[in-house]
Amino acid sequence: MPEGVLEVLLVSAKGLEDADLLCKGTTPEWNETFLFDVTSNDATDLKVKIMDSDGGVGADDLVGHARQVECLIFIPLDALFRDGDIPAKSYNIMKDDAYCGEIRIGLNFTVQVQFILFVSCKT
């Protein structure tokens, strides 16, 4: 896996029930970008865990995990590392194997280029 910067675009969600996710309602829109340095060869998947905030009063509640098929670790990054971009798409949010909404996420990866400069000195 290459090293670089992973850009996660959190676009929106729909069908969320009983969740106070940065705004009220069942169809929040964020259009927020988050940047992560990828420095490990072990980075193969992006796991998304969705929590609702209880405003510091108590413990935050799990809304669900985004997942595909039967995997909890589910957005594979192989295609992203190869192609550099996964356009925003919707992923099902699951909790206890039950559907509880969708989240729309886009991904971009910029490879970190390293330059090595060799200098030779002639005497």
pLDDT tens profile 38-94? 887 778 888 887 766 555 555 555 555 454 333 243 788 889 999 999 999 998 887
Residue 33 — φ and ψ, nearest 5°?
Answer: -110, 135
Q: Provide the pLDDT confidence category of residue 33 given band limits of 50, 70 and 90.
A: very high
Mean pLDDT of 12-27: 67
Q: Look at the block and give the residue holding tokens 């060869």.
A: 41
Q: Provide the pLDDT confidence category of residue 17 given band limits of 50, 70 and 90.
A: low
Radius of gyration of the CA atoms of the chain, in A: 19
Contact yes or no for 7/87 (Cβ under 8 A): no
Torsion, Cα 77 29 57 61, to 10 degrees, reads -50
Confidence at residue 102, expressed as pLDDT on a 0 to 100 scale? 86
d(CA 61, CA 5): 29
Written as six digits, the tokens of 97 are 């194997």
Confidence at residue 69, expressed as pLDDT on a 0 to 100 scale? 34
